[in-house]
């Protein structure tokens, strides 16, 4: 019987070594900026109660109705691999009594998420996001700060040609009137909409505005504009947000049919697009305000705003825009061993050098001294440290200048100090 050839599950790719430098750059910048902006990290479970997303994200959303990986445990619990981060943050906020902490509370997260959808470029069934959430403050200045943070991350990643698309989708006070007007308008044209949108009209007509079907997208261009139906509070909030963005000199487009695909949003919604000469701009991420989510999940009435970005999409764009990555400096010292005793001593010397602040190169898997010197030449090592049987017995090491070929026997306890001295001379010569 032939052995089975295994592959990663569809839409759940490996992150290979040659791509890790891009991922590390994203992680480092997110971590560094989170500290600068005053955000603390939070990690939530990869699985949550299914009802958390049904109630928080919205049963009528495509995420919940079509894309969730849900299962029943042996104990009879209904769990779901998290499709997004915000409901988990809201759940943790309520569960751990974070309302008693100083506010606004600033949290960030980074990790894997799961959605069952057709894999394509930048969109996978297992994907990774980082997100920032500010909880406990109504002011639009924090909406602006969330946008500013994400643009600063993109700028520090070296990304260009980005655009901000903004809208306000109102609040529970003014949205019902718009929903009724939109539902009536869509009802008269329902036969021209896709089957999914015909269902959405009944459950949540705003979801039609988020449809990706080309026929539906063309149809909604003539739909009523939600901004015309905002209450005075929502209008003032949106106007002040635009003023903050203007002061920050952040360019934006007002997109009257941008609603995002999640039910908990109120007032501000936004998305960041890469539009570098592309017919169909790629959404790198987005977010908005969710002033009723925490109370909907059983907490006290608490305002909040947040957003999340897809790391795969950022990495793809970094590659496309040929963002330069800082190269790891090559070791200036290389360990060369001869014989088993020399190899054992070299293994310990490698760690001793590391503790002394010296990064050394090695080829412990190779026994040929010729092969080891070839590797030392290839990486540009300035010095090699040779440990053979005799040197191991004498508790010494041969220090060789790779350029001149001059060799010198150094007592093993003194080698770290001697190497540092020689390396400083190399730097001074330059």
Task: Output the DSSP codes for 300-312.
Answer: ----EEEEEEEHH
N-terminal to C-terminal alpha carbon distance within the chain: 63
Among 269, 294, 320, residue at a domain's last position: 320
Both 398 and 261 in one domain: the answer is no
Report the alpha-carbon distance of residue 350 to residue 345 in Å, rounded.
Answer: 9
Assess whether pLDDT exceeds 90 at residue 34.
yes
Assess whether pLDDT exceeds 80 at residue 279.
no
Q: Which whole number is the average pLDDT over 197-212?
A: 85
pLDDT of 346: 95
Per the CB < 8 A criterion, the answer to whether 386 and 338 are in contact is: yes
* 424 annotated to a ligand binding site: no
Assess whether pLDDT exceeds 60 at residue 58.
yes
Both 387 and 281 in one domain: the answer is no
Among 266, 290, 320, residue at a domain's last position: 320
Both 394 and 288 in one domain: the answer is no
Asked if the structure places residue 36 within a domain, the reply is: yes
Q: What angle do CA 37, 40, 43 make, to 5 degrees?
A: 140
* 85 annotated to a ligand binding site: yes
Asked if the structure places residue 203 within a domain, the reply is: no
Per the CB < 8 A criterion, the answer to whether 74 and 182 are in contact is: no
- Measuring CA to CA, how many Å separate 212 from each of 188, 193, 194, 220? 20, 11, 10, 11
Assess whether pLDDT exceeds 70 at residue 427.
no
Per the CB < 8 A criterion, the answer to whether 268 and 237 are in contact is: yes
Per the CB < 8 A criterion, the answer to whether 29 and 153 are in contact is: yes
Both 154 and 263 in one domain: the answer is yes
Assess whether pLDDT exceeds 90 at residue 320.
yes
Give residue 72's domain range.
17-174+230-320
Q: Lowest-pLDDT range, 268-282, 313-327, 364-378, 389-403?
A: 268-282
* 84 annotated to a ligand binding site: yes
pLDDT of 238: 98
pLDDT of 176: 93
Both 297 and 353 in one domain: the answer is no
Strands (E), 141-299: 162-168, 253-254, 266-274, 282-289
Q: Which whole number is the average pLDDT over 9-25?
A: 96
Asked if the structure places residue 290 within a domain, the reply is: yes
* 41 annotated to a ligand binding site: no
Q: Lowest-pLDDT range, 100-104, 107-111, 255-259, 324-328?
A: 324-328
pLDDT of 347: 95
Per the CB < 8 A criterion, the answer to whether 132 and 149 are in contact is: yes
* 7 annotated to a ligand binding site: no
- DSSP letter at 221 equals G
Per the CB < 8 A criterion, the answer to whether 406 and 424 are in contact is: no
* 408 annotated to a ligand binding site: no
pLDDT of 119: 86
Q: Lowest-pLDDT range, 49-53, 59-63, 165-169?
A: 59-63
pLDDT confidence tier of residue 275, bands split at 50, 70 and 90: confident
Report the alpha-carbon distance of residue 149 to residue 129 in Å, rounded.
Answer: 15
Q: Lowest-pLDDT range, 229-243, 265-279, 307-321?
A: 265-279
Both 302 and 281 in one domain: the answer is yes
Strands (E), 56-202: 69-72, 78-81, 105-114, 126-135, 162-168
What CATH code is carried by the domain that includes residue 403?
3.40.50.800
Q: Which whole number is the average pLDDT over 193-203?
A: 86
pLDDT of 1: 57
Q: What angle do CA 23, 24, 26 make, to 5 degrees?
A: 65
* 115 annotated to a ligand binding site: yes
Residue partners of 4: CB distance under 8 A and separation at least 6: none
Both 308 and 418 in one domain: the answer is no
Among 320, 342, 357, residue at a domain's last position: 320
- DSSP letter at 121 equals T
Assess whether pLDDT exceeds 90 at residue 419.
yes
Asked if the structure places residue 415 within a domain, the reply is: yes
Is the Cα dihedral 245, 251, 255, 261 positive or negative? Answer: negative
Q: Is 216 helix (H, G, I), strand (E, B) or coil?
A: helix
Asked if the structure places residue 430 within a domain, the reply is: no
Assess whether pLDDT exceeds 90 at residue 4.
no
Both 82 and 135 in one domain: the answer is yes
Number of domains present in the structure of the chain: 2
Record the pTM. 0.89
* 264 annotated to a ligand binding site: yes
The owner of tokens 């955000």 is 39
Both 315 and 337 in one domain: the answer is no
Report the alpha-carbon distance of residue 40 to residue 119 in Å, rounded.
Answer: 32
Asked if the structure places residue 26 within a domain, the reply is: yes
Q: Is 123 helix (H, G, I), strand (E, B) or coil?
A: strand
Both 292 and 153 in one domain: the answer is yes
Asked if the structure places residue 359 within a domain, the reply is: yes
């Amino acid at each position: 019987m032939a052995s089975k050839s295994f592959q990663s599950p569809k839409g759940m790719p490996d992150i290979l070594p040659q791509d890790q430098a891009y991922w590390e750059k994203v992680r480092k910048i997110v971590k560094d900026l989170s500290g600068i902006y005053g955000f603390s990290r939070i990690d939530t479970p990869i699985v949550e109660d299914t009802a958390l997303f049904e109630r928080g994200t919205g049963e009528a959303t495509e995420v919940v109705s079509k894309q969730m990986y849900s299962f029943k445990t042996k104990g009879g619990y209904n769990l779901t691999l998290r499709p997004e981060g915000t409901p988990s943050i809201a759940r943790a906020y309520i569960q751990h009594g974070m309302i008693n902490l100083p506010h606004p509370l600033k949290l960030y997260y980074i990790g894997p998420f799961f959605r069952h959808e057709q894999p394509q470029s930048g969109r996978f069934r297992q994907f990774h996001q980082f997100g920032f959430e500010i909880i406990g403050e109504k002011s639009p200045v924090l909406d602006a700060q969330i946008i500013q943070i994400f643009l600063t991350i993109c700028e520090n990643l070296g990304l260009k040609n980005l655009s901000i698309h903004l809208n306000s989708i109102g609040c529970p006070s003014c949205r019902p009137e718009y929903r009724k007007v939109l539902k009536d308008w869509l009802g008269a044209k329902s036969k021209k909409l896709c089957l999914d949108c015909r269902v959405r009209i009944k459950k949540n007509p705003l979801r039609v505005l988020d449809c990706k079907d080309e026929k539906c997208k063309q149809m909604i261009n003539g739909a009523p504009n939600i901004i015309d139906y905002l209450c005075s509070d929502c209008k003032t909030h949106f106007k002040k947000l635009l003023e903050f963005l203007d002061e920050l000199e952040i360019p934006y487009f007002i997109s009257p049919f941008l609603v995002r695909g999640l039910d908990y949003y109120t007032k501000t919604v936004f998305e960041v697009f890469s539009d570098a000469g592309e017919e169909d701009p790629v959404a790198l991420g987005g977010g908005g305000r969710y002033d009723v989510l925490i109370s909907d999940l059983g907490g006290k009435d608490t305002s909040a705003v947040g957003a999340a970005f897809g790391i795969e999409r950022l990495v793809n764009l970094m590659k496309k825009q040929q963002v330069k990555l800082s190269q790891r400096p090559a070791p200036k010292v290389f360990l060369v061993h001869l014989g088993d005793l020399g190899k054992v001593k070299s293994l310990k010397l490698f760690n001793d050098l590391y503790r002394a602040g010296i990064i050394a190169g090695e080829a412990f898997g190779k026994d040929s001294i010729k092969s080891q010197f070839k590797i030392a030449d290839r990486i540009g090592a300035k010095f090699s440290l040779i440990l053979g049987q005799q040197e191991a017995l004498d508790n010494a090491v041969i220090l060789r200048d790779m350029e001149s070929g001059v060799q010198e026997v150094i007592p093993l306890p003194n080698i770290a100090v001697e190497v540092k001295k020689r390396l400083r001379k190399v730097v001074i010569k330059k």
